[in-house]
Amino acid sequence: MAKEITTPDPVALYATQAVRRVGSVVADMSEDIPTIRISGPMYSDMQGSSRDFMEAHDSLKSLGAKEARLEINSGGGSITEGIAIYDAIAASDIEFDCFIFGICASAATLPAMSCRSITIAKNARLMIHEARSGSYGTADDLEEVAAWLRRMNDTAIAAYVARTGRTEEDIRALAKEETWYHSGQDAVDAGFADRVLDVEAVAEVSEAELRAFDNAPEDLREAVVAADEGASDADTQDDTVSDDEGAGGDDTSASEVNADDDANGDAPEGEGSTAPDADANANENNGDPLIADMNADSGEESVVTARPAEPAQSQDAKGPSPWGQRIAEMNAGFGKF
């Protein structure tokens, strides 16, 4: 079983990002070799956690599986989740062979390190770096978090050393610099994978996740942005009714459409529409204008694990205050590995 890893108690720890995508861990029994897939971000409070991995693992075990594939396409997440899955694989009676597609970065690298073999797609990116966190508290609280981060680093470094055969000093230097391997062959040459698979896959990572890293490749960021824009354009096209369809059997009157628009707050400017102001957004987000501002740019779910005891400072509708920006930057990496 995966061992439980807790964060320091006296400290108010923040979420990695105000806006967080949902990852997934699923078991696929339809293949000749049963497969567990980890895709997207890994966090304990949503899909993509070590708990989900253990449920998938137990499903395989109940079927008597002796061997399985672990497929990873993830930019990482919480280091404690990565370590827990690493330990679970190491202790399992099932022999796992890992296949990396798209991206395997940060905490997502740890489950791979405990597998029997690691195969990586030719265009996949692999990245290691030091654990990071954001915290709020006294000097003693911050020192406790620093000590905890060092323990997390030691655990990860030991896993990389055992896998690659490289020296501890070498691996620590690579992690400190946030080292990216820009192809499957680069990862193999560095000892983090065994062989290259002649396939290509799209990285399951968002631009927001990439911004949390120090040295994220610009070409990867551009590719992610382009893919997101393409998906957004496709959604817009799906939602658009063609002129032919509008001229057909739709007998909805213009007055009825306008009435629906008014009810949904979509009336044209000057005809009763009102734009929500910053105060209204703050009220909808529990009085936190920083989160209100972040939510204004994304339709994704907002998740915050803890906040300071003091109320957040006010800000105008144009953007977060300098304090808010600093907190956002500080917390961009909490739990990120």
Q: Is 307 a member of any domain?
A: no
Give the pLDDT mean for 188-196: 98
Q: How many domains does the chain have?
A: 1
pLDDT one-digit tens code per residue, 236-249: 666 554 455 544 44
Give the pLDDT mean for 44-51: 76
String of DSSP letters for 156-169: HHHHHHHHH---HH
Q: Is 257 a member of any domain?
A: no
- At 44, the pLDDT band (50, 70, 90 cuts) reads confident
Give the pLDDT mean for 111-125: 97
Q: Is 308 a member of any domain?
A: no
HSE-up (13 A, CA, CB side) for residue 114: 21
Lowest mean pLDDT, pick from 82-91, 289-298, 313-322: 313-322
Q: Domain span at residue 197? A: 12-222
Please report, rounded to a whole number, the percentage of residues in the chain having pLDDT higher than 90.
Answer: 47
Q: Is 116 a member of any domain?
A: yes
Q: What token pair was written down for 119?
A: 């195969």
Q: Is 214 a member of any domain?
A: yes
Q: How far, CA to CA in Å, does 126 sit from each of 41, 214, 272, 277?
A: 15, 14, 53, 43
At a CB cut-off of 8 Å and minimum separation 6, what does 124 contact? Answer: 100, 101, 102, 103, 104, 183, 184, 187, 201, 203
Distance separating alpha carbons of residues 204 and 40, to the nearest angstrom: 5
Q: What token pair was written down for 105?
A: 């970065």
Q: Is 146 a member of any domain?
A: yes
CATH code of the domain in which 106 resides: 3.90.226.10
CA nearest to 193, candidates 56, 12, 283, 70: 70
Q: Is 268 a member of any domain?
A: no
- pLDDT of 192 over the 90 cut: yes
Q: Is 42 a member of any domain?
A: yes
Distance separating alpha carbons of residues 114 and 102, to the nearest angstrom: 19
